[in-house]
Amino acid sequence: MKNKYAERARLVKPSETREILKVTERPEVISFAGGLPAPELFPVDALKIACNAVLNKEGAASLQYSTTEGYIPLREAISQRMKSIGINTTVENILITSGSQQAIDLTGRLFINEGDIIICESPTYLAAINAFKSYNAKFVEVAMDDDGMVMEELEKKLQEYPNTKFIYTIPDFQNPTGRTLKLERRKRMIELANQYDVLIIEDNPYGAVRFAGDALPPVKHFDTEGRVIYMSTFSKIFTPGLRLGWICADDSFIDKYVAFKQIADLHTDSFAQRITAKYMELYDIEEHINKIKAVYKERCTVMLSCIEEFFPKHLSYSKPEGGLFIWIELPDSVDSGQLFAECLENNVAFVPGAPFFPNGTKKNALRLNYSNMPKDKIIEGMKRIGEVLHRKLEKERKFPV
Amino acid sequence: MKNKYAERARLVKPSETREILKVTERPEVISFAGGLPAPELFPVDALKIACNAVLNKEGAASLQYSTTEGYIPLREAISQRMKSIGINTTVENILITSGSQQAIDLTGRLFINEGDIIICESPTYLAAINAFKSYNAKFVEVAMDDDGMVMEELEKKLQEYPNTKFIYTIPDFQNPTGRTLKLERRKRMIELANQYDVLIIEDNPYGAVRFAGDALPPVKHFDTEGRVIYMSTFSKIFTPGLRLGWICADDSFIDKYVAFKQIADLHTDSFAQRITAKYMELYDIEEHINKIKAVYKERCTVMLSCIEEFFPKHLSYSKPEGGLFIWIELPDSVDSGQLFAECLENNVAFVPGAPFFPNGTKKNALRLNYSNMPKDKIIEGMKRIGEVLHRKLEKERKFPV
């Protein structure tokens, strides 16, 4: 049989990081690798009540085909959440997606022509990189500092690349860095998008999980021309297994997304949508999110203090006020891929930073997840990474390369 | 803002038929339009038990992120089903998809280059047409008779179109015609696919719902070179709302599908997968399918006798032995789109046949669904269509066009 694959199949490989995650699933491994929420916080009992309520009262409807746009009460609840964070919206502006990964993928499908430029933070979310690359996009990376994407750099790139299709940004507790775009930069990003006529894809899965500092309005709050497409998910505030995300955008965009979602999967799981809506009707999801915040705050604080205590001095790392990740930049000489292999021998794991750079530049960074491990395992795991790192750096001092 | 959409967005419009379905949802309409299973047969109580069992024993795991390939016990159960219908397979050959629509869409994404030829039955499933068209495929239609796609015609087209990528076939109780590909043609299709080196996409959502005649092995049963990609779904044998489908194919294909599914939605709803696997563990799904068959058999029989009784004589229509649909060919002079409008005024609906022809040729056919309406409504609805049809044909006889 001769090769049958489409040319785009060359652009898509199984994610290395998902392969890494498989290795780290061994029970003896303390893993800071995945972006997994704490499963012990999933509201299992409440969900049981929601399941029974849905099946008792709307059993058949919850198991039947439904509309592509999504279950209206769920879209209404999301619309309320959007309003509460400063996005003026109605149910017509909300499309339910099969996780926010589908929102990302449909965005590529709807907007990207071969060779289109996407401007993104450097580094950025690797599953977005993989999705957009499958549509043959080119990435232009913009430097970040502790306050997120640097606007002077963004403007330079917008001047340099007039065929930019959109800016892809994760403004709150970014994956992988944990950094947050500061207020003035949000306003400036909108000004620049208007001036250079580009869209902004605001990917905001973590914004609701802020455990320190003051909440900032989303970039879309400042949108004056309907050019921000906002997307988020229930994965970090409820459960990821149900695969429920959403897109919030102008009606005209939503109509187009709906057409593509129809061919992608007809609609998102009706039952998952209904039990989530029922949960939000019966319980206060904000209370649940507060529990998540309290736990993540503690885990983040412990992990940060472990860096101080166990890691070599003078490393640069983020100090997130929310979300799931800490980003560490090691001395230039350290390849975090090699470090990963050595750490795994010591039964501790993280994600090496390289795949988060779409143009593959930086090898000396790594991402640590703190949401998925209890305090004692964080301490033990960080000790182990610290030891490996110390050994590695000492060796280098003895045998300079 | 200047137009931002990708060129492919021109190829994708909201499905007309889904728009039709919205109109037919008015409660006073007797609708034979949708392809909806009978909701009163959904095993709601059993599913409640399955939900509780899953949440009690594996609550956290069922709500967490999981693997792209799907939940292993569900893949195992599917693999067993595949064996029982004559497809020799292991769990490695099964990928869980978000409904079989996703299986169709990922197939387009994985295999279709711009301009590739897809050979299909004429007519064929319209959501597959829409999905494949979004990848810029060209369709070559092969005539059918009561025994499915005509093999002599297929061979001619394979000769005529050497850049054929695959044959897309729905061999059992085809959508929209309800026709079944006879045994010798299944064997012949494989021979031709081998000879002309093309793939076969066997879309088989209805095969398990056979209520008359003898079961036939799937086309993939005769596959000697791993060139048949088989796909099916729980939508017609369990519930469509949970959006669970699967692909059964050679490992090398599955690996590629997995890479694309990762970027499409990471994985299918974990909870839906686990409750479905639990249901299959606790209950005999074959018993459940037998109930579905009994009901559909009765409804189909009633609808067929209504055609005899209420419709003009000498119409050509299919007499399905399973599945959900009857296909009627009206006299050439009748445009079923106009007929649809007139029937809707009489609060009865079906789907006009035109959109099922990818190259848009035939206007005088229509698809009737019998699975979603009880017997009395079938009789009443068919009476109404019959009356409109009689009036229409009489008028034509008086004023010949």
DSSP letter string over B225-237? SS-EEEEEESTTT
- What residue ranges define each of the domains in chain A, with the CATH number in brackets? 12-43+287-395 (3.90.1150.10), 45-282 (3.40.640.10)
pLDDT digits (tens, 9 = 90+) for B112-142: 999 999 999 999 999 999 999 999 999 999 9
pLDDT in tens, A247-271: 999 999 999 999 999 999 999 999 9
pTM for this one?
Answer: 0.96
Helix (H, G, I), strand (E, B) or coil at B369: strand
Tokens representing residue A300 in the block: 């983040």
| Cα distance between residue A226 and residue A221, in whole Å | 10
Looking at per-residue confidence, does A17 or B201 come out higher? B201
What pLDDT does residue A160 have?
Answer: 98
B346's tokens: 């009489």
Which residues, 6+ apart, have CB-to-CB distance to B20 below 8 Å? B33, B340, B349, B351, B352
Contact A48/B64, CB-based, under 8 Å? no
Contact state of A241 with B7 under an 8 Å Cβ cutoff: no
How do residues B163-188 score in pLDDT, each as one tens digit? 999 999 999 999 999 999 999 999 99
Q: What is the DSSP letter of A210?
A: B
Contact residues, chain A, for B112 at CB < 8 Å = 6
pLDDT at A329: 96
Whether the bond into B176 is cis, omega within 30 of 0: yes
CB B149 within 8 A of CB B189: yes
Is the per-residue pLDDT at A400 higher than 80?
no
Kindly report which listed range (A18-32, A67-81, A288-302, A363-377) carries the lowest average pLDDT score: A18-32
Per-residue pLDDT, A399: 61
User: Minimal Cα distance from A116: which residue of B?
Assistant: B6
3-class SS letters over B240-258: CCCCEEEEECCHHHHHHHH
User: Looking at residues B188-194, what average pLDDT do you find?
Assistant: 98
Scan residues 323-352 of B and list those with Cβ closer than 8 Å to A.
none
The mean pLDDT value of chain A amounts to: 95
At A319 the three-state DSSP class reads coil
The CA distances from residue B198 to A72, A94, B194, in Å, are 44, 41, 7
Query: Residue A156: CB partners within 8 Å, gap ≥ 6?
Result: none
- Give the span between the Cα atoms of B265 and B288, in whole angstroms: 30
Provide, as residue numbers in chain B, all residues whose Cβ is less than 8 Å from the Cβ of A272: 269, 271-272
Which chain A positions have a beta carbon within 8 Å of B66's beta carbon? Answer: 241
In whole angstroms, give the CA distance from residue B110 to residue A9.
Answer: 6
pLDDT in tens, B215-264: 999 999 999 999 999 999 999 999 999 999 999 999 999 999 999 999 99
A338-367 pLDDT per residue, tens: 999 999 999 999 999 999 999 987 899 999
- How far is residue A343's CA from residue A385's CA, in Å, rounded to a whole number? 6
Query: Are the Cβ atoms of A4 and B62 closer than 8 angstroms?
Result: no
Closest CA to A170 of A178, A160, A159, A162: A178
Distance of CA A176 to the CA centre of its chain: 8
